[in-house]
Amino acid sequence: MSSIEFEIVEHIGVLSENAKGWRREVNLISWNGRAPKYDIRDWAPNNEKMGKGITLTEEEFKKIAELAK
């Protein structure tokens, strides 16, 4: 078994929540002790399990905001 260490450095916000209580969240996460990155991902209640998601640099994250205007 391999393991991935991660630390949720900042909870930025919740995009949505489904009927089972999983939330699609935006967080600032440090993976394996590296510098934190922006992360859009589905999470079970209390961040106990994680689903699929995407990790973004700060530049990419800010660019999305421009595109969504």
Write out the residues near a second copy by the rule CB under 8 A.
12-13, 15-16, 24, 26, 40-41, 52-54, 56-57, 59-69
The answer to whether the beta carbons of residues 36 and 29 sit under 8 Å apart is: yes
In terms of Cα–Cα distance, which of 1, 2, 46, 3 is closest to 25?
46
- The smaller minimum CB distance to a second copy, of residues 13 and 45, is found at 13
Query: Residue 37 has which token pair?
Result: 């990155």
- How many residues does this entry show for the chain? 69
Smallest distance from a second copy to CB 50, Å: 13
Smallest distance from a second copy to CB 55, Å: 10
